[in-house]
Amino acid sequence: MNLSYWEIKSWLTNIDYTIVGSGIVGLNCALQLKNRFPKSKILILEKGLLPQGASTKNAGFACFGSLSEIIDDLKTHSEEEVFNLVKKRIDGLQLLRKTLGDSTLDYQELGGYELFTNTDLLEQCLDKKEDINTLLKPLFKQDVFSFKFNPFGFENCNETLSFNQFEGQIDTGKMMVSLTQLVLSSGIKILNSSTVEHFSEADNSVKIKTDQFEFSTSKLLIATNGFASRLDISEVKPARAQVLITKPIKNLHIKGTFHLDQGYYYFRNIDNRILFGGGRNLDFKGEETTDLSQTDLIQNKLEALLKTTILPTTPFEIDHRWSGIMGVGQQKKPIVKQISNNVYCGVRLGGMGVAIGSLIGKDLANLL
């Protein structure tokens, strides 16, 4: 691209902080940097027309983990690690709600449910419920998990559902529009459709090459989560999440957020529709991709579960399908660190971007 003098001068000169990624982490990082360094010149680069990660493509769960997921985490993490993971999710949600407000987010605390198609898993959750409630009580001051009889007419699953009274949902489209407006009104610039191809570091600066232009910045902060491996952050693997949504359903009686199969499937109500996603466990290797397409294997499974389990007696039509890219790894703890003298990253949100994205962005900015 052959930029003019004015374009170079106004957008690409004397940049103090460049953030790669305009999702939840990148935008919150920019806001925190501007708060700490009001006179700084901050630029956000986004490879997509809209944020291309999971920030605008997720299900909008304001959650911190289903009962079976937390039990499963305790197999590979210590109690202290799991406690801290949940605390970070709670703190992140509180920061998000404080930053934008519940009305802006369309935040609704309708509770979260978990369905069980596996009797052994249900029995394990029944057995471990008190232990998990005891572990989390210092955070919530009450028992988090209880069990309820199925009030929704779900079929081909156990009539007993796990219930989390503190789980909520938000409209992530409204969230991202509001965050973007807040960032722009703070004097921070965003350049969309700009893919970072390479960067090289000097003593006091970083030279960045995009598919459109080249420039230098004092500090580089990487907030690309599922796409982090493209910038040589090997600890993060992409994980595609396929989603579909129904057309509006008259008198829809399902209200809340719902988990199935240790959180590998998830659904919720939104605008009298059912939004349903997941199925990555059907093909872990195939879903380790940054390709935003869908597969018949997973889409057919989502439709089958809608017909047989979620809406067994309710006619529905699929209105739309999409995919988002999460960032995962061997551990669920996010990576927020300094990579080199002038390069930093906040990545590996593990599918909990809505919950922890605001906090990770703030923590990333506070590394400087």
pLDDT at site 113:
97
pLDDT at site 331:
85
Q: Residue 234 pLDDT > 80, yes or no?
A: yes
Mention every residue, 6+ apart, whose C-beta is less than 8 A from residue 265: 259, 276, 277, 278, 279, 302, 305
Strands 189-191 and 42-45, sheet pairing: parallel
pLDDT band at 241 (very low <50, low <70, confident <90, very high): very high
pLDDT at site 93:
96
pLDDT at site 71:
95
pLDDT at site 330:
85
Average pLDDT over the chain, rounded to an integer: 96
pTM value is: 0.95
Judge whether 222 and 20 are in contact, CB under 8 Å. yes
Q: What percent of the chain has pLDDT over 90?
A: 94
Task: Using CB atoms within 10 Å of the CB of residue 110, give its burial: 0 to 12 exposed, 13 to 18 middle, 19+ buried.
Answer: middle
pLDDT at site 2:
86
Token pair listed for 268: 């919720």
Give the 3-state secondary structure of the chain: CCCCHHHHHHHCCCEEEEEECCCHHHHHHHHHHHHHCCCCCEEEECCCCCCCCCCCCCCCEECCCCHHHHHHHCCCCCHHHHHHHHHHHHHHHHHHHHHHCHHHHCCECCCEEEECCCHHHHHHHHHHHHHHHHHHHHHHCCCCEEEEECCCCCCCCCCEEEEECCCEECCHHHHHHHHHHHHHHCCCEEECCCCEEEEEECCCCEEEEECCCEEEEEEEEECCHHHHHHHCCCCCEEEEEEEEEECCCCCCCCCCEEEECCCCEEEEEECCEEEEEECHHHCCCCCCCCCCCCCHHHHHHHHHHHHHHHCCCCCCCEEEEEEEEEEECCCCCCEEEEEECCEEEEECCCCCHHHHHHHHHHHHHCCC
Strands 61-62 and 168-169, sheet pairing: antiparallel
pLDDT at site 155:
96
Q: What percent of the chain has pLDDT over 70?
A: 100
pLDDT at site 214:
96
pLDDT band at 106 (very low <50, low <70, confident <90, very high): very high
Mention every residue, 6+ apart, whose C-beta is less than 8 A from residue 178: 100, 104, 105
> CA-CA distance, 273 to 264, in Å (whole number)?
20
Q: Summarize pLDDT for 47-91 with one digit per residue, the tens.
A: 999 998 889 999 999 998 899 999 999 999 999 999 999 999 999
pLDDT band at 1 (very low <50, low <70, confident <90, very high): confident
pLDDT at site 53:
85
Q: How many other CB atoms sit within 10 Å of the CB of residue 6?
A: 8
Q: Residue 103 pLDDT > 90, yes or no?
A: yes
pLDDT at site 205:
96
Q: Summarize pLDDT for 120-156 with one digit per residue, the tens.
A: 999 999 999 999 999 999 999 999 999 999 999 999 9
Q: Summarize pLDDT for 153-209 with one digit per residue, the tens.
A: 999 999 999 999 999 999 999 999 999 999 999 999 999 999 999 999 988 999 999
Q: Summarize pLDDT for 302-345 with one digit per residue, the tens.
A: 999 999 999 999 999 999 999 999 999 988 899 999 999 999 99
pLDDT at site 143:
96
Q: What angle do CA 359, 362, 367 make, to 5 degrees?
A: 125
Task: State the residue for tokens 């938000």.
Answer: 170
In a 13 Å sphere around the CA of 66, the CA atoms on its Cβ side amount to 29
